[in-house]
Amino acid sequence: MQSAIAHAHETHGHDSHGDHAHHHDVSFIRKYVFSTDHKVIAKQFMLASLFFLFVGGLFALLIRWQLAYPGEAIPLIGNILPDTWVSDGAVTANFYTQLLTLHGTVMIFYVIIPLAVGMFGNFCIPLMIGTDDMALPRLNMYSFWLVPPAGLIMLTGFFFDSGTAAAGWTGYPPLGPSSGAGQTTWLISLFLIGFSSIMGATNYMATILNKRAKGLQMFQMPLTVWGLFITAILITLGTPVLAAAISMQLADQYLHTSFFMPDNLLVGAPDNSLVTGAFIQNGNQLLEHKQLLGGGGQPILWQHLFWFYSHPAVYIMILPGMGIVSDVLSTFARKPLYGYKAMIFAIMGIAFLGFIVWGHHMFQSGMNPLLGTTFMLSTIVIAVPSAIKIFNWLGTIWRGNIRFTAANMNALAFIATFIIGGLSGVFMASAPVDIYIHDTYFIVAHIHYVLFGGALFAIFSGIYYWFPKMYGKMLNESLGRKHFYWSFVFFNLTFYPMHLLGVGGHMRRIYNPYIYEFLQQYQPMNQFITIAAIILGFSQFILIFNILWSLKYGKPAPRNPWQANSLEWAAPAHPGHGNFDSDIRVYRGPYEFSHPDRESDFYPQWEEPQGVESHSHEAKEHSHSA
Amino acid sequence: MSSGLSLAHEPVTKVPHGKLAMWIFLASEIMFFTGFFGAFIVLRNSNLELFSHSAAELTKGLALLNTFILIGSSLTMALSILNLEKGNTGKFKLFLGLTILCGFGFLIVKTIEYSTKFNHHIFPWTNVFFSFYFLMTGFHAIHVIAGMIPMTYMFIKAFTKKGYNHPVKVETLGLYWHFVDLVWIFLFPVLYLIFPAH
Amino acid sequence: MSGHHPDSKSMFDSYIKVASALFVLTVLTWVAALDWVPKSWGEAGNTLHIAIGLLIAIVKAYMVFYVFMHLKFDNKFIRAFVFVPIFLFFVLTFALNVLGP
Amino acid sequence: MSFDFSKAMEWAYKDMLTFFPENVSTFGSELDSLFAMIYYASVAIFFLTYAILIAFIIMYRHQEGRKAYYYHGNNLMEFTWTLLPTFLFAGIGLWSDDAWTKSKYAYKVPNPDVTIDVLGYQSGFGWQFRYPGPDGVFGKKDRNQISSANPFGIDSSDSHGKDDLVIISPGGARPVEVHLPINKNVLVNLSSNDVLHSFFLPNFRVKQDAVPGQWIKVWFNGTKAGRYEIACAELCGSGHYNMRGLLIMDSQQDYDAWLDQQYKIVKPELSAPVSDTTAIAAATSDSTTTKN
């Protein structure tokens, strides 16, 4: 697997220019499919991820339908789905666990990470640091082209007789390794997408460190770039641990090893003849021939390794969003970002702490309670940098001159939802409170407030903000606002009540909650959530329609439609290969809005200072002392 | 550059892109093996007896031989870079060839080691220790192979008319190769040696 | 092009020196792992074996990093790519080893 | 499909804290008040930040000719809003640590009044309980003797194990029913032989994963007689939703009477615990047909 890296070296340094020389007569395939242009790759990431967003959203709606109307046929599609998935048009218990597994996996690994990191990382980094392309363009291309096969492998599981992975997106052993071929495809797929992430992240870091435009200091980079830079560090250091854990689980499945299996486990023989669903029918007979495993392993070991990656992964998903929101807010409030350096240190703090708090996912897992105390304290500390960020965003719009574009509305929605998501996180950080709400819908509400309300609104904001630079066309603002209003309202109606369900004790990943007497009263509430979720799902078509409509009929975008300061707006309206049509030199930080000495309310990074040199110098000093 | 712009200037850090990316990738590789070593330590502590007498069954002599081979290959790799930087292509080819040879030697010894294990009915599923042994040495061997592929490419290229004159690329590959050696430096005592032979 | 390498003669010398040291240390690891600790030491003898084995490995790793991989000559910030993962290694193994109840 | 809008909207009029199921354990009230404390603090912070956010959005909305205030921030403010949350969260942390020690450190309950073993199991999806029997002592456990006939791995050579009372699911959709006395410290040794489960007693604020290969101690002290549900909170396969059990909290007398009665019923089988493997097979095959 290193050969990809090794080959990519060929593209570095001096001969990377070779590509540019003949970019006029490249074939269609080289230009749009196997392109090394970071902007094309960003669009490819966007396209792939929007497809997976659709798929993952569909899974979510099927799950919701089952929770609202258990046993009732799914409307429209219920009767055309194959028998392995549904019975009498209603989702089976086995298919339900597959759906919840794949919903989580697809949304995290194939939607949020590729959108936040793959798409914005690729599009924004070279443009915002004022360079022509990534440090290693060909490596960048490989990193995208691992995604489609990985995604296909992930989805093929559905067509196996035994179904796809059904051990939750966390794939906890022994359930994971003891299930069938679906788990294998799941593991392989994660391994590939993880490798793609590492290749991408390596490239981002090399690009940011090495290819900044003349005069651009690290502490003059926009927050988006900072967010992506720290994210790349998290990916490089976290993902390989997951890769190691995945290899071990694969070995447990196919080499019959027992890294995660204790002695005398009465669980399915690792020859894949057994899937969890088939257990019941074979009953006792199976129990007997199951004692095949070598033993000596520990199930909790997987959880440690998994969360050692997956907790930082939460920040992998949210940090780029935080960066995007900072830029969008500052631009549309026409005001410098409040506390630029404090924001960067907060991101660094979150990233560092992110590596030492993973145990808070495991308070009830049976690890040493003493370790629980340690992890609780470190987790609670992580709330501080998050609070700093919120206050700084509020400080940014304070005394601003706020323009309510669709991009800015989504950015404001990000703050609004992140406040709720952050506050609900404090409940779980407190280990004793977590005893009760762990594995309930409270957690589901929290993760969706952070990842849908947080990451996805930030991504929407970024799409509205950078679409003009991506395609050279403006998105339709009024459709954008409609999309925002529908999404925001129904997002809250979908996920806020889940907190209440959680407090009511409603477990997550439950096929039919109404088996339990104490949950029967919550069926009307589940129905309400489902209807809100369906509307939320369908609201996203406004975005899709807007993109398609604007590509054809949208107004041509000017070079700098938002009158923003950062370097990407110095590029032509629809930049080609090589990005810029003039040399870029950077004179100041990215947030010089409403400078008192200037007529216009923005002062681009690339604009040469005129008149008194000392003024801009002073401004720069000022921004640094913050 | 087509348009005469100077956007692609000297690397800011003065470290070439590929080499910088390789270091970042190696950081990531350290974390990959961290996962294995961490798991190894945990399961070792809960299965001390088992690990102790299982380790006694490994062939230490072959591992020692392999350690020498890898250290030697690291040296030849370093020397080949040094010679290419000096423009000494003949010696460059000699040392690169030796490095490849060492890689093959390592793999052959590894194969002998594995087949002895199989003959003694020791497989990855025999017990947790051997699971670790096969998985960790297996991944290490995959890394060796992955390093040898571009190395062979460079070696063959060096014999063409144009020759191969990219010292930075060889240096970058060298970083990787030394890292593979480094992993072995830890695998050797951890798997083979530090269990006293009771 | 990468940092301030000393001239190739002294590089050659240090390569040879390091490689010889690595060979010697490997033999030393081997010798240290022999059963020379009196049985009566019990657990302490075990720990001693592990400590010596790992210590030698760390010294070897240091030499490979600093000389073969040029950390000694290259831009200092590259050291972060080594030290940060090593720090995380300790975090992970520390936490993992207080696993069970 | 039916949808009663007014019923579905009931949540909107209710305070979050009213959703808790009734608490019937000693430490439960402390966990609940900790939740309430964080909740009130969160609500306060929520209203504060939202008030500021909305006020700023309205006050500083775009107006022609207005220029925003050129200001890069202020270190004193940064310092303040770093420190304030730190104190708040440190307070929560300290209080939490106390409650955590009390509820989770089972070894701090050295002399439990009742000790039982609990196993989650996947073939049929349910719970297995083991009481020490009339001699009040559990038989030794031996992992090597675990089999489907002897899920607890009771050591056949230990005489204490002969009278151990094992209660398994009665089969069909009926949940397993066990009794425990009120106002007694109950210690549960929790494990599993197949996959992870999580022993969840909503009314007792107890939740603990059952991990194969590990016996984890959980404790609680029920304060009110009644019939409470046992749930599984960790995905354990497609029948995960179906792991319902019933825990009946009795007075000591009723509990003793029940124990006696159970012992009489199960006694013929006690010499070889759960030797009737067909019972398990029947139980497991029945439970596939679940009521909705």
pLDDT tens per residue across span A92-102: 999 999 999 99
pLDDT level of residue A181 (50, 70, 90 thresholds): confident
As a whole number of Å, the end-to-end CA separation of chain C is 54
Residue ranges per structural domain of chain D: 21-104, 111-286
Among D residues 106-145, those touching chain A with beta carbons less than 8 Å apart: 121-125, 143-144
| pLDDT for the residue numbered D268 | 59
Distance from CA of A237 to the nearest CA of C (A): 7
Phi, psi for residue C97 in degrees, rounded to 5? -85, -5
Give the pair of three-digit tokens for residue D133: 């029997």
Mean pLDDT across C56-85:
90
Q: Which CATH number fits domain D21-104: 3.30.70.920, 2.40.50.180, 1.10.10.10, 1.10.287.90?
A: 1.10.287.90
Distance from CA of C67 to the nearest CA of A (A): 22
| pLDDT for the residue numbered D61 | 93
Whether the CB of C53 is below 8 Å from some CB of chain B: the reply is: yes
Please tell us whether the domain made up of D111-286 is placed in CATH 2.40.10.480. no
Q: Which of A30-34, A568-572, C69-73, D282-286 has the highest mean pLDDT?
A: A568-572
- Please answer yes or no on whether C99 and A301 come within 8 Å at the CB atom: yes
Distance from CA of A270 to the nearest CA of B (A): 11
Torsion (CA) C90, C94, C97, C101 in degrees, nearest 10: -160
- Please answer yes or no on whether A368 and C95 come within 8 Å at the CB atom: no
- Please answer yes or no on whether C92 and A308 come within 8 Å at the CB atom: yes
| pLDDT for the residue numbered D273 | 45
The 10s digit of each residue's pLDDT in A461-479 is 999 999 999 999 999 999 9
Question: Hey, what amino acid is at A127?
Answer: L
Across the interface, of D194, D205, D231, the residue whose CB is closest to A266 is: D194
Residues of C in contact with B78 (CB under 8 A): 15, 68
Query: Rounded distance, CA A165 to CA A100, Å?
Result: 10
Q: What is the ipTM of this complex?
A: 0.91
Mean pLDDT across D52-69:
92
| pLDDT for the residue numbered D125 | 83
Quick check: A542 pLDDT over 80?
A: yes
pLDDT level of residue A374 (50, 70, 90 thresholds): confident
Which CATH code fits B17-193? 1.20.120.80
Across the interface, of C88, C92, C95, the residue whose CB is closest to A371 is: C95
| pLDDT for the residue numbered A25 | 61
The 10s digit of each residue's pLDDT in A85-141 is 888 889 999 999 999 999 999 999 999 999 999 999 999 999 999 999 999 999 999
**D141: nearest Cα among A225, A264, B34, B75:** A264
Across the interface, of D38, D56, D213, the residue whose CB is closest to A398 is: D56
- Please answer yes or no on whether C35 and B196 come within 8 Å at the CB atom: yes
Q: Which chains touch B (3 or more CB pairs under 8 A)?
A: A, C
Whether the CB of A301 is below 8 Å from some CB of chain C: the reply is: yes
Distance from CA of C26 to the nearest CA of B (A): 8
D176-181 and D245-250 beta bridge pairing: parallel
Averaged pLDDT score across all residues of chain D: 85
Residues 6 or more apart whose CB falls under 8 angstroms from that of A211 comprise A126, A129, A131, A134, A135, B8, B11, B12, B17
Whether the CB of C40 is below 8 Å from some CB of chain B: the reply is: no
Residues of A in contact with D212 (CB under 8 A): 174, 261-262, 265, 267, 299
Residue ranges per structural domain of chain C: 8-75
Among B28, B43, B100, B142, most A C-beta atoms within 10 A, so best to mutate, is B28
Residues of B in contact with C64 (CB under 8 A): 74, 178, 181-182, 185
| pLDDT for the residue numbered A162 | 81
D197-201 and D176-181 beta bridge pairing: unpaired
A213 dihedral zone (left: phi>0; alpha: psi -120 to 50; beta): beta
Whether the CB of C78 is below 8 Å from some CB of chain A: the reply is: no
For tokens 């819908």, what's the residue?
A441
Mean pLDDT across D230-244:
91
Across the interface, of A337, A369, A430, the residue whose CB is closest to D104 is: A369
Distance from CA of C14 to the nearest CA of A (A): 27
Quick check: C98 pLDDT over 80?
A: no
HSE (side-chain half, CA atoms, 13 Å) at A22? 7
- With a cut of 70, list the residues of chain B below it in pLDDT: 1-4, 195-198
Q: Are B184 and B51 in contact (CB under 8 A)?
A: no
Mean pLDDT across A354-382:
88
Residues of B in contact with C55 (CB under 8 A): none
Higher pLDDT pick, A8 / D125: D125
Distance from CA of C68 to the nearest CA of B (A): 6
Residues of A in contact with B146 (CB under 8 A): 1-3, 6
Quick check: A218 pLDDT over 90?
A: yes
Distance from CA of A300 to the nearest CA of C (A): 8
pLDDT level of residue A6 (50, 70, 90 thresholds): very low
Among D19, D47, D208, most A C-beta atoms within 10 A, so best to mutate, is D19
The 10s digit of each residue's pLDDT in A247-303 is 999 998 888 788 988 877 776 543 333 333 223 223 333 333 343 455 788 899 999
CA quadruple D128, D134, D138, D144: dihedral sign: negative
Query: Rounded distance, CA A28 to CA A14, Å?
Result: 26
Residues of D in contact with A297 (CB under 8 A): 213
CB pairs under 8 A between A and D: 379
**CATH superfamily to which A42-276+290-553 belongs:** Cytochrome c oxidase-like, subunit I domain (1.20.210.10)
Query: Rounded distance, CA A593 to CA A401, Å?
Result: 10
For D212, the closest chain C residue by CA position comes to C100
Distance from CA of B87 to the nearest CA of C (A): 11
Work out the angle at residue C7's Cα, subtended by the Cα atoms of residues C3 and C13, and round it to the nearest 5 degrees.
115
D216-220 and D176-181 beta bridge pairing: unpaired
D165-167 and D176-181 beta bridge pairing: unpaired
Q: Are A357 and A341 in contact (CB under 8 A)?
A: no
| pLDDT for the residue numbered B4 | 58
For tokens 């599981």, what's the residue?
A157
Query: Rounded distance, CA A74 to CA A61, Å?
Result: 10
Tell me if residue A511 falls in helix, strand or coil. Answer: coil
The 10s digit of each residue's pLDDT in A310-366 is 999 999 999 999 999 999 999 999 999 999 999 999 999 999 999 999 989 999 988
